[in-house]
């Protein structure tokens, strides 16, 4: 892929990667309240429309590359955006996968309310300290997400890149950039297509602010 040089007014600081992290578009399981985790669930029609809207909102951002989780809901979103922005196909990074929820992946929340109401309450609160049988621990998950972010930053020095990933992944990144303990409950949930802007260099990650509105508002 031919690199595009950002204009001086918006170029990343020398040695830093400008990274936009965004949640994938909507899936049927999002609507139905089914825990996805590592289950490979495609975008629904609205999710694809959101992906095209994201691409339109990113025109002029001069991204050099798109990175993605390997899960199809993120990968399809990333492929749509890369195609619309005339960029190379997304680079896949396994560290960007959603948290592994173990045996409850694919279980509707209505069913989980009967099977394990206490765990459901932890999930609804997005409690990172919740324990999932057969799934990832809080530290296993957070370690791989931050390692992936630092790896992408190292490979993208002085470039601008878009990263398509998942909601719980964005929670990990939010805690990290705000200096919060890993078990902090954020009392928020990133919407499908919502983005987070960062500057990454080595172990340094700081949040940036993009004034534009979300693409579907």
Query: CATH number, domain at 56?
Result: 3.40.50.1240
Per-residue buried b or exposed e for 177-187, using 16+ beta carbons within 10 Å of the residue's own CB: beeeebeeebe
**217 residues of the chain, pLDDT tens digit each:** 233 323 333 445 567 999 999 999 999 999 999 999 999 999 999 999 999 999 999 999 999 999 999 999 999 999 999 999 999 999 999 999 999 999 999 999 999 999 999 999 999 999 999 999 999 999 999 999 999 999 999 999 999 999 999 999 999 999 999 999 999 999 999 999 999 999 999 888 999 976 443 433 3
Whether 12 is covered by a domain: the verdict is no
Q: Could you give the CA distance from residue 147 to residue 84 in angstroms, rounded to a whole number?
A: 29
Interstrand relation of 17-23 and 195-201 (parallel, antiparallel or unpaired): antiparallel
Beta strands in the chain (DSSP E): 17-23, 65-68, 91-92, 160-165, 195-201, 204-208
24 is known as an active-site residue: yes
Give residue 47's domain range: 17-208
75 part of a folded domain: yes
Residue 215 zone, left/alpha/beta (φ > 0; ψ -120 to 50; rest): alpha
**Is residue 200 a part of any domain in this protein?**
yes
DSSP string, 89-128: PPEE-GGGSPPP-GGGTT-BHHHHHHH-HHHHHHHHTT-T
Q: Which helix (H) or strand (E) holds 81?
A: helix 72-84
pLDDT digits (tens, 9 = 90+) for 51-108: 999 999 999 999 999 999 999 999 999 999 999 999 999 999 999 999 999 999 999 9
In a domain, 8, yes or no: no
Q: For residue 162, give both structure tokens.
A: 């878009």
Catalytic-role residue among 26, 98, 136, 150: 98
Tokens of 81: 């955006």
Distance separating alpha carbons of residues 92 and 15, to the nearest angstrom: 22
The verdict on residue 217 lying in a domain is no
Q: What's the number of domains the chain is made of?
A: 1
Quick check: pTM over 0.75? yes
Predicted pLDDT at 13? 53
In a domain, 4, yes or no: no
Q: Residue 6 falls within a domain, yes or no?
A: no
Task: Kindly state whether residue 36 falls inside one of the protein's structural domains.
Answer: yes
Q: Is 216 helix (H, G, I), strand (E, B) or coil?
A: coil
**24 CB-contact burial (10 Å; exposed 0-12 / middle 13-18 / buried 19+):** buried
User: Please, are residues 152 and 93 in contact by the beta-carbon 8 Å criterion?
Assistant: yes
């Amino acid at each position: 892929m031919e690199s595009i040089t950002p204009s001086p007014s918006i170029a990343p600081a020398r040695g830093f990667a400008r990274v936009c992290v965004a949640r994938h578009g909507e899936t049927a399981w999002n609507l139905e309240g089914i825990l996805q985790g590592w289950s490979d669930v495609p975008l629904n029609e609205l999710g694809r429309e959101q992906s095209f809207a994201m691409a339109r909102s990113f025109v002029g951002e001069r991204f050099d590359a798109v990175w993605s989780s390997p899960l199809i809901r993120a990968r399809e979103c990333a492929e749509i955006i890369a195609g619309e922005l005339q960029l190379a196909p997304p680079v896949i990074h396994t560290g960007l996968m959603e948290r592994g929820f173990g045996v409850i992946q694919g279980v509707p929340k209505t069913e989980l309310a009967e099977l394990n109401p206490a765990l459901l309450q932890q999930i609804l609160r997005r409690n990172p300290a919740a324990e999932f049988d057969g799934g990832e621990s809080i530290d296993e998950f957070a370690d791989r997400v931050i390692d992936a972010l630092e790896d992408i930053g190292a490979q993208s020095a002085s470039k601008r890149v878009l990263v398509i990933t998942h909601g719980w992944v964005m929670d990990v990144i939010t805690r990290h950039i705000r200096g919060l303990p890993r078990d902090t409950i954020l009392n928020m949930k990133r919407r499908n297509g919502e983005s987070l802007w960062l500057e990454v260099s080595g172990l340094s990650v700081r949040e940036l602010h993009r004034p534009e509105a979300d693409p579907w508002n």
